[in-house]
Amino acid sequence: MNDKPDVSEETKKKIQKVIDKLGYNPNGIARGLVLQKTHTIGLIIPDISNPFFPEVAKGVEDRARELNYSVIFCNTDNDKKREKEAIDLMKSKHVDGIILSLSISNKEEIYKLEEKNFDVVQIDRKIPDSNYQAVVIDNTLGAYNATSHLIELGHTDIAHITGDLEIQTSQDRLEGFKRAIGTFDLDYKEKWIVEGDFSKESGYKAMKNLLTLEDRPKAVFIANDLMAIGAYEAIFEMGLEIPQDISVVGYDDIEIASIIKPGLTTMTQPKYKLGQAAADVLISKIDNKRNINDEDIILNPKLIIRDSTRGYEDE
Amino acid sequence: MNDKPDVSEETKKKIQKVIDKLGYNPNGIARGLVLQKTHTIGLIIPDISNPFFPEVAKGVEDRARELNYSVIFCNTDNDKKREKEAIDLMKSKHVDGIILSLSISNKEEIYKLEEKNFDVVQIDRKIPDSNYQAVVIDNTLGAYNATSHLIELGHTDIAHITGDLEIQTSQDRLEGFKRAIGTFDLDYKEKWIVEGDFSKESGYKAMKNLLTLEDRPKAVFIANDLMAIGAYEAIFEMGLEIPQDISVVGYDDIEIASIIKPGLTTMTQPKYKLGQAAADVLISKIDNKRNINDEDIILNPKLIIRDSTRGYEDE
DNA sequence: ATCGGTAACGTTAACGGTATCGGTATCGTT
DNA sequence: AACGATACCGATACCGTTAACGTTACCGAT
């Protein structure tokens, strides 16, 4: 008997004794079958070896465990077929809900889930027009704040190295950059926006590019830290110094950012919290079907100021 | 009917049609109940946010999926209680087998599993005296090879910065270092072995320590890359150059190792392969109860030569 | 026409729990 | 002594699937 009100404390103890003696483990499968509830959630993410996701997964698992759920996980490598397979797997395993990060091109799967009335929370990426609640980090705001930091230091000549513009994240960060430039009424120079692809090499090239302009920028916001590392090399190679000659802000706060010299000012993302929040939302949806609040949850990245930024006027 | 021999192709097709039409998903739970088989394996690791494990997890998941298994995962944070809980969870979920990385102090749990005849493979760490097969990376060999690399370059004055010696890994790497020194009949100086704790700061301190000796070493093997980064700082601070004045070999091949200047020579660990091998071994054990080969699988780390090492005689 | 073999069909019993219901024993209350 | 409340006990149905078995239908070969 599972905590029913009409069982006395005494017999509970007696029963517990017998349980211990026989080493009885309840069979979760049989339970799941009759209760139509597995106390399991699915976690479908693109790639656990991408440094963004382990923390997220940890947040999900920790919170799920606290709430008495376990998690079964799948990598999809952004492959549409594998995404579908992962979802089918979750269906056949009868998980109680799914935390999902789908590639944008795979809307159908989300629609199918909606039809079946599956409990789903989207994480990190939200498929436009889907009705499922999403838990995301505000890339636009992050980029806005990163850029504002440079502006507040007195900079006016600010460049931006973007990520691969096919990817929504890059678009959002570009948008945030533009918005900050606009808000503060600064000069907007198209040639100071250079596209990279998130790789270190592309950061190097883009920076080289910027530094060979006759009117070169005095500050740069770079869409991720890896490109910023590449940019560092380009800057040093030209005999320039950070932050004396040029201020640099990155994005992601990867491990190297605090190790490299000078320490890289960057935006850190609340990855663990993202996972926690997603688990929270999903499980409260499962346990308590009325959706108290089905608005998207938007977490804010945080600026980490290190030594790669400095005011333009400072000495 | 699941691929039984006495069903004709024709009816199979007919059935498939009906399946598609009704959108039927077989209920894995009911199946698991009657077949006593869940096609699920458990993955219990200390911490997915430790950069070592995501690749391992990916290897496990990829291979498991290829072999038609899914994986349910738990972090334990090296906490004995959570390890026990994770194992109980796996039992109640009736997974077909477990890939396990336990803290050394938690032997009992392994013994309990052995009693119950559970299918288990240990990964990364092997509990001494346990009968379960393990899939591990040979730390002693790695350290031996790292040190040999320095010796083969002509170095004779070689120091070692260890990790936290409470941890088996550190002991193994120290052992490999000593063995290499012994094999090549070099001078063995106790004071050239300094204990760190795997942190960057401890690497810095230990290196400072070594560099202030009157007979300072010309090469150093450091038990992990993070400490090596700290050591770099100490070396630069003393006005010395790598590798001209001192050669450095690290261990782990973290991302920074290839980014830092000069590129750090280090040992890389076959993490993905480790996960794959563990899944392979476990699932073949499950599917085919006769243990064809129940010896431990020992994978070899690989030396990555970059720019932080050079021969002693080289100009 | 008869026979044997093969494939499809239908039924039933498990798998290991939970929920529900009726029955019974025990207690305190009036 | 009769009553109600409370706690325990036992029986039974059910969750969705597979295995096993018996039956029936159909086909080609003798």
For testing the chain A interface, which of B24, B25, B29 should be mutated: the one with the most A CBs within 10 Å?
Answer: B29
The answer to whether B10 CB sits below 7 Å from nucleic acid chain C is yes
- Residue–nucleotide distance: A271 CA to C13 C1' (Å): 51
In a domain, B288, yes or no: no
Interface of A with B in 5-34 (CB under 8 A): 25-30, 32-33
Residues B35 and B153 in one domain: no
Query: What would the two tokens of residue A159 be?
Result: 């460049």
Give A84-143 pLDDT, tens digit per residue: 999 999 999 999 999 999 988 889 999 999 988 899 999 999 988 888 999 999 999 999
Q: Which of residues 22-51 of B touch strand C (CB under 7 A)?
A: 30, 33-34, 36
Range of the domain at B18: 9-132
Q: Is the confidence at residue A6, as pLDDT, over 80? A: no
d(CA B222, CA A154): 43
Residue A291: predicted pLDDT = 61
The answer to whether A8 CB sits below 7 Å from nucleic acid chain C is no
- Residue B195: how many other CB atoms lie within 10 Å: 15
Using the 3D structure, point to which of A97, A115, A132 is the last residue of a domain.
A132
Residue A3: predicted pLDDT = 52
Give B19-72 pLDDT, tens digit per residue: 667 777 788 999 898 889 999 999 999 999 988 999 999 999 999 999 999 999
User: For the residues B73-94, what does the mean pLDDT come to?
Assistant: 94
Average pLDDT score, chain A? 91
Residues A168 and A220 in one domain: yes
Closest partner residue to A29 among B32, B51, B57, by Cβ?
B32
Q: Which residue has the higher pLDDT, A210 or B15?
A: A210
pLDDT bracket for residue A158 (50, 70, 90): very high
Sign of CA dihedral B80, B82, B83, B87: positive
Using the 3D structure, point to which of A229, A249, A269 is the last residue of a domain.
A269
Residues A184 and A120 in one domain: no
- Residue–nucleotide distance: A119 CA to C17 C1' (Å): 25
d(CA B8, CA B241): 75
Q: Specify the 3-state DSSP secondary structure of B134.
A: strand
CA angle at residue A65 from A93 to B280, to 5 degrees? 50
A115 to chain B: nearest residue by CA? Answer: B23
pLDDT bracket for residue A8 (50, 70, 90): low
Asked if residues A263 and A306 have their Cβ atoms less than 8 Å apart, the reply is: yes
In a domain, A151, yes or no: yes
Mention every residue, 6+ apart, whose C-beta is less than 8 A from residue A209: A194
Asked if residues A230 and A202 have their Cβ atoms less than 8 Å apart, the reply is: yes
Mention every residue, 6+ apart, whose C-beta is less than 8 A from residue A167: none
Residue A4: predicted pLDDT = 57
**A115-119, A208-212, A279-283, A291-295: which has the minimum mean pLDDT?**
A291-295
In a domain, A284, yes or no: no
Residue B116: predicted pLDDT = 87
Place of tokens 């869409």: A223
In a domain, A64, yes or no: yes
Q: Which of residues 206-265 of A touch strand D (CB under 7 A)?
A: none
Q: Is the confidence at residue B1, as pLDDT, over 60? A: no
Task: Tell me the C-alpha to C-alpha distance, in Å, between residue B258 and each of A212, B240, B249, B265.
Answer: 26, 20, 13, 9
Residues B121 and B198 in one domain: no
Residues A108 and A150 in one domain: no
For testing the chain A interface, which of B22, B43, B93 should be mutated: the one with the most A CBs within 10 Å?
Answer: B93
Give A181-195 pLDDT, tens digit per residue: 999 999 878 999 999
Residues B43 and B88 in one domain: yes
> What CATH number does residue B67 fall under?
3.40.50.2300
d(CA A94, CA A42): 9
Residues A169 and A235 in one domain: yes
How many structural domains is chain A composed of? Answer: 2
Residues A157 and A109 in one domain: no
Task: Tell me the C-alpha to C-alpha distance, in Å, between residue A301 and each of A61, A142, A266.
Answer: 21, 6, 10
Give B140-152 pLDDT, tens digit per residue: 999 999 999 999 9
Query: What would the two tokens of residue B96 be?
Result: 């077909």
User: For the residues A132-157, what does the mean pLDDT come to?
Assistant: 96
CA–CA min distance A232, chain B (Å): 11
User: For the residues B260-285, what does the mean pLDDT come to?
Assistant: 96
CA angle at residue A95 from A89 to A99, to 5 degrees? 85
Residues B204 and B152 in one domain: yes
Residues B108 and B16 in one domain: yes
Report chain A residues whose CB lies below 8 A from the CB of B25.
88, 91-92
Residue B315: predicted pLDDT = 46
Residues A119 and A155 in one domain: no
Q: Is the confidence at residue A289, as pLDDT, over 80? A: no
Q: Within an 8 Å CB–CB cutoff, is residue A256 touching chain B? A: yes
Identify the CA nearest to B298 among candidates B52, B104, B131, B133: B133
Report chain B residues whose CB lies below 8 A from the CB of A227.
none
